C-alpha cells in the first residue's frame, strides 16, 4: 500500500456497521472486465438503473468517464493502465465502504491489477464481484461503436486491447457473461451474485 509521508489515519465518529445499518445499505464492488465493446458499460448501466430503482445506492465508475477527471492525466501505456486500475479500485473501495454499490466498467486487461483490486476490498471486508464480459474479439470488432478497432487496425491508434495490446482473460471470475446473453439476463446473473441489503435500522445509537 502506498502512503504519503507524515500522515496519520483519522478515525471518524461513525463506523461502517453503524453507517450501513442506519442507511439500510451494504456496500460492494461489481467489477466488469472485458475487451473494448464487449458490453461492459451497457450491462453496468442496466445493473445501476435496476439497483437504484430498487432503492439501493449504486454508482457507476465507467473507465471512459473516469478518464474525464480522476484518471484524466493517464494514457494507455501498461504503466498508465495499471495506475488507472489502481485509482479506480481505490475509489470503488471508498464508495463501497460508504455503503454504495460501486459498479466499475474498465477494460482492466491485466490479471495482477484485478487481483490487487480484489485484495484491496477483501482485506477491508468488502464484497468484490468480478464479472467477465466474455464477448469474442470478432464480435467486438463488428460492433466497434467508437470506431477504435477500425482505427487500430488501420494503424492510426497504438496499444489497443484486442489488436496490439494484450487482454489477460480472468480464469476464475465470479460471473461470466458469454456472448449471446441478452442484457436483461446479464443483469439477473450479476444481481444474483450480490449480497442482499439489510433492512434499515434508522436512528441506531452507537454503544456508549
Ligand atoms: P464496453 O463498455 O465493453 O466498451 P459497450 O457497453 O459500450 O462496451 O457495448 C458495445 C456495443 O455492444 C454497444 O453498441 C452495445 O449496444 C452492444 N452490446 C452491449 N451488450 C450487448 C449484448 N448483451 N448483446 C448485444 N449487443 C450488446
Predicted model pTM? 0.94
C-alpha cell at 120: 484491496
145 lines ligand 1 (CB under 6 A): yes
Does residue 97 fall inside a structural domain? yes
C-alpha–C-alpha distance, residues 104 and 59, integer Å: 9
134 lines ligand 1 (CB under 6 A): no
| Atom 14, ligand 1: residue with shortest CA distance | 145
How many domains is the chain partitioned into structurally? 1
User: Which strands sit side by side in the sheet containing 175-178, from one edge to the other?
Assistant: 58-62, 101-105, 28-33, 127-134, 175-178
Does residue 200 fall inside a structural domain? no
Does residue 144 fall inside a structural domain? no
Residue 36 near residue 161, CB atoms below 8 Å:
yes
Does residue 78 fall inside a structural domain? yes
Cα distances from 203 to residues 7, 15, 22, 123, in angstroms, run: 33, 14, 6, 29
pLDDT of residue 202: 62
Give the residue numbers marked as catalytic: 108
C-alpha–C-alpha distance, residues 199 and 69, integer Å: 35
C-alpha–C-alpha distance, residues 87 and 65, integer Å: 13
pLDDT of residue 208: 47
Does residue 29 fall inside a structural domain? yes
Digitized pLDDT (tens) for each residue of the chain, 208 residues in all: 689 999 999 999 999 999 999 999 999 999 999 999 999 999 999 999 999 999 999 999 999 999 999 999 999 999 999 999 999 999 999 999 999 999 999 999 999 999 999 999 999 999 999 999 999 999 999 999 999 999 999 999 999 999 999 999 999 999 999 999 999 999 999 999 999 887 766 655 554 4
* Domain containing residue 39: CATH number: 3.40.50.300
C-alpha cell at 3: 502512503
Best residue among 30, 39, 136, 139 to mutate for probing ligand 1, ranked by most atoms within 8 Å of CB: 39
CA atoms within 13 A on the CB side of 26: 12
pLDDT of residue 196: 85
C-alpha cell at 115: 487481483
Distance 145 CA to ligand 1 centre (A): 8
pLDDT of residue 40: 98
Does residue 50 fall inside a structural domain? yes
Amino acid at each position: 500500500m502506498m502512503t504519503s509521508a507524515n500522515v496519520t489515519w483519522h478515525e471518524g465518529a461513525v463506523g461502517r456497521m453503524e453507517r450501513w445499518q442506519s442507511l439500510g445499505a451494504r456496500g460492494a464492488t461489481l467489477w466488469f472486465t472485458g475487451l473494448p465493446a464487449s458490453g461492459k458499460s451497457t450491462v453496468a448501466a442496466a445493473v445501476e438503473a435496476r439497483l437504484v430503482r430498487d432503492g439501493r445506492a449504486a454508482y457507476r465508475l465507467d473507465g471512459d468517464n473516469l478518464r474525464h477527471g480522476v484518471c484524466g492525466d493517464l494514457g494507455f501505456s501498461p504503466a498508465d493502465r495499471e495506475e488507472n486500475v489502481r485509482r479506480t479500485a481505490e475509489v470503488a473501495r471508498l464508495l463501497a465502504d460508504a455503503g454504495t454499490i460501486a459498479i466499475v466498467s474498465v477494460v482492466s486487461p491485466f490479471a495482477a491489477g484485478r487481483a490487487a483490486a480484489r485484495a484491496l476490498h477483501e482485506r477491508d471486508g468488502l464484497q468484490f464481484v468480478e464479472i467477465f464480459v466474455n464477448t469474442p474479439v470478432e464480435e467486438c470488432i463488428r460492433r466497434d461503436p467508437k470506431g477504435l478497432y477500425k482505427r487500430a487496425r488501420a494503424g492510426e491508434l497504438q496499444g489497443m486491447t484486442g489488436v496490439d495490446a494484450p487482454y489477460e482473460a480472468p480464469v476464475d471470475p465470479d460471473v461470466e457473461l458469454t456472448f449471446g446473453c441478452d442484457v436483461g439476463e446479464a443483469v439477473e446473473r450479476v444481481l444474483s451474485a450480490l449480497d442482499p441489503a439489510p433492512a434499515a435500522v434508522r436512528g441506531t445509537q452507537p454503544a456508549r
